[in-house]
Amino acid sequence: MFFKINRNYFIEELSKCNKIVDYKSSVPSYTAIFIEVEVDKISLVSTNTSVSIKTSTFVNKEGLEIKEVGSFLIRGKNFIEILKRMDDEIISINKVEKNIITLSGENSEFLLNVLDENDFSQITFNETGEFFEIDTAEFKKGLNQTIISVNEWNQKIVLQGLNFLTEESIFYITGTDGYRVSRKKIVLDRSVDEKLSANVPFKSVFEIIKVLNDKNKTKIMIHDSLITIISNNTIIQSTLLEGQFPDVKGVFPTDFNSTIYVENKAFFKLISRADIPSEENTSTVVNFILDGETIIIKSNIQQIASFEEEFKNFELRGLDNQNIYFNSKFILESLKSFETKVVEISFIDSKTPIMIASSEDLSLSQIILPMFSN
Amino acid sequence: MFFKINRNYFIEELSKCNKIVDYKSSVPSYTAIFIEVEVDKISLVSTNTSVSIKTSTFVNKEGLEIKEVGSFLIRGKNFIEILKRMDDEIISINKVEKNIITLSGENSEFLLNVLDENDFSQITFNETGEFFEIDTAEFKKGLNQTIISVNEWNQKIVLQGLNFLTEESIFYITGTDGYRVSRKKIVLDRSVDEKLSANVPFKSVFEIIKVLNDKNKTKIMIHDSLITIISNNTIIQSTLLEGQFPDVKGVFPTDFNSTIYVENKAFFKLISRADIPSEENTSTVVNFILDGETIIIKSNIQQIASFEEEFKNFELRGLDNQNIYFNSKFILESLKSFETKVVEISFIDSKTPIMIASSEDLSLSQIILPMFSN
């Protein structure tokens, strides 16, 4: 095995694969990057319990010259660190013995012991089949906006991740922990023939966000027990959670009694004050009182602190009387997921879920169940 | 107790005191900030095993209005966090009951439980006596450049910190772990009558670097068992290490056989490549060979990797033949301490300390003992 490649590009591709490597794992496959050099391309592969990644580069791109095919298995972290300390634009990698490679620049040479390739279980990437395509930046934004409602350790396994669903030309991403629902709606370029549904594990969602590059489009393929995400030269493949994701449409209230329009940043800061910091780092119960032209926000942590503030800087449609209790963390995370200037918070009564939305961005809705008054 | 103060300024001063608070300590005094309101000023005080800080503000500065004198004791971290979440320019703090204060802005009010003041042991700050004055930025730079040679856990207690020494109008800062010496020489505006010497603990040096603001001059006073450092409205007082600091002047070689002149960044990168990253994170033994117009750098970690590189980009004065072994970490830290473009590395032979210096900055010298060849 012998090839030459652009050093900075090689670092970038290795780093992508390295992001999902689990150095603490006792499974050898999960702790290293497998590099395969074929006649016309080089592929880097890594894997963990939920996700596998493969990134490929063809000859004559990024300085890639292949002189001899072959493969090797290496721990990514130190290998990347060594490459970073080099100065050369192009580096050569040459397998000189069964488990030894040389890494050379113009004036310097490293002799490196590599791992036993047989310790790496080969992975089949499912790259063909029906797919739909979305803008990568919008996809990543949607994942970040909905993952907030997912509890990785939920007792119901199907809720331990996000649900992806296509309905004709709409792609929904939904997360819920039973107390709140986050839903993102992305309009696709074309209608998807089949109604596709997949429950993507929490951990995989984070790996996808980390690895995907904002540029370019992303192709999504949903198979029986796998999802394949292809963006540029990178393939990410994740396992799926089994089970039927609840139909959350029924939870979305429609006829509200009161809607307040507030500046997102100001309202976020107000609720953050009510979320009194304490040693235990617990979230605070916040009492929201709408009384005519005033909103009163109250909270207290017994024996430590209490808080009260009046807020008048809002517009109101509907009833001017509400008295509701919330988990401060749920409201703060929901508000933070909106990049819009103004948000609309809609109420029915103290026992019915409230909805946070914004007419500046109709793709996102956040639903939160109130708490019992205490 | 009742006072008003500019919120952002108050956060800044509390944060200074909070930097040295040790929340894990079982000594109550070390876990909180004591705030004392007198007729004409407010003082914030915090302390830990090695260092105490006091910062004072006088009325009519920074919005300070004092309506009633008094004091309270509070955990800084959450208090600062609450203040940060407020919007007001000026805030009021009012003691309403023995252990309860209110913190108010225009529309909001917090009721906060505070700690029992009797749990805080009062500290005497020694603010008078002979002092010398230096530029704060230069002082902090000197501390950072010399602390690299100090081992906090050195068996010899006197070496567990930096030595401060005045000799007429020169102020020396020296650190050594027995294998290397870092020395900074700062020229004072005026001669100091008495020869002063103080051994400042490693931990205190870090606290001083953290707390001192680059602006302004710093006054230094050395007492029998204490050092007092005054900069602007802040006083830092540290305990001293007992014992006689070794006279390092004898270690500094003077007649060198070879001196190489290298670009600091390029030589640093070269040695960082030789410092092969490994799972164990140990420092590497680096072999430096000077042979005519070439420097050869070699290193190896058994069973893992080996490295070799030729380097020709240097100027030489003296003998063109040296073969020396080093600890990679010592060389890297020394090179990093120089902000100059070119450094000079001077050798006698493979058993005598080498010196790293730079004619662009004569205030700093780094001495490193070579290792036995293996």
Q: Is there a contact between A309 and B108 if contact means CB atoms under 8 Å apart? A: yes
Whole-number Å distance between alpha carbons of B312 and B255: 25
Closest CA to A337 of A298, A313, A367, A309: A367
Instruction: Please identify, in words, the CATH class of the domain defined by A2-119.
Output: alpha beta
Tens digit of each residue's pLDDT, chain A (374 residues): 999 999 999 999 999 999 999 989 988 889 999 999 999 999 999 999 899 999 999 999 999 999 999 999 999 999 999 999 999 999 999 999 999 999 999 999 999 999 999 999 999 999 888 899 999 999 999 999 999 999 999 999 999 999 999 999 999 999 999 999 999 999 999 999 888 999 999 999 999 999 998 888 999 999 989 999 999 999 999 999 999 999 988 888 889 999 999 999 999 999 999 999 887 777 789 999 999 999 999 999 888 899 999 999 999 999 999 999 999 999 999 999 999 999 999 999 999 999 999 999 999 999 999 987 65
* pLDDT of res. A264: 98
Judge contact between B272 and B284, C-beta under 8 A: no
- Whether A107 has its CB under 8 Å from any CB of chain B: the answer is yes
What is the third-level CATH fold of A252-368?
Proliferating Cell Nuclear Antigen (3.70.10)
Domain boundaries for CATH 3.70.10.10 within chain A: 252-368
- For residue B308, the chain A residues in CB contact (below 8 A) are 108-109
Confidence of residue B330 (pLDDT cuts 50, 70, 90): very high
Judge contact between A218 and A230, C-beta under 8 A: yes
Mean pLDDT (whole number) for B195-200: 94
- Whether A302 has its CB under 8 Å from any CB of chain B: the answer is no
Angle of CA points A369, A161, A362, to nearest 5°: 55
Domain boundaries for CATH 3.10.150.10 within chain A: 2-119, 132-248
What is the third-level CATH fold of B132-248?
DNA Polymerase III; Chain A, domain 2 (3.10.150)
- For residue B78, the chain A residues in CB contact (below 8 A) are 276-279
Q: Which of B87, B108, B303 has its CB closest to that of A113? A: B303
The C-alpha of A111 sits at a distance from chain B's nearest C-alpha, in angstroms, of: 5
Burial of B244: CB neighbours in 10 Å, binned 0-12, 13-18, 19+: exposed
Contacting residues for B25 by C-beta, under 8 A, at least 6 apart: B31, B48
Q: Is there a contact between A78 and B278 if contact means CB atoms under 8 Å apart? A: yes
pLDDT tens for B15-57 read 999 999 998 998 888 999 999 999 999 999 999 989 999 999 9
Whole-number Å distance between alpha carbons of A228 and A237: 4
* pLDDT of res. A373: 63
Q: Is there a contact between A108 and B269 if contact means CB atoms under 8 Å apart? A: no
Judge contact between B74 and B115, C-beta under 8 A: yes
Per the listing, tokens 């879920």 go with A353
- The encoded tokens of residue A36 equal 């395969």
Closest CA to A337 of A144, A67, A186, A158: A144
Q: Is there a contact between B108 and A307 if contact means CB atoms under 8 Å apart? A: yes
CA distances from A183 to A141, A143, A297 (A): 12, 10, 27
User: Would you say the C-alpha torsion A227, A229, A235, A241 has a positive or negative sign?
Assistant: negative
pLDDT above 90: residue B2:
yes
Mean pLDDT (whole number) for B139-151: 97
* pLDDT of res. B194: 86
Give the DSSP letter of residue B238. E
Instruction: Report helix, strand or coil for A357.
Output: strand
* pLDDT of res. B373: 63
- Whether B131 has its CB under 8 Å from any CB of chain A: the answer is no
Ordered alpha helix ranges (H), chain A: 7-18, 76-85, 136-146, 202-211, 264-274, 328-336
Q: Is there a contact between A108 and B304 if contact means CB atoms under 8 Å apart? A: no
Per the listing, tokens 């009519």 go with B60
The C-alpha of B332 sits at a distance from chain A's nearest C-alpha, in angstroms, of: 13
Mean pLDDT (whole number) for B184-195: 92
Contacting residues for B75 by C-beta, under 8 A, at least 6 apart: A279, B23, B31, B32, B33, B115
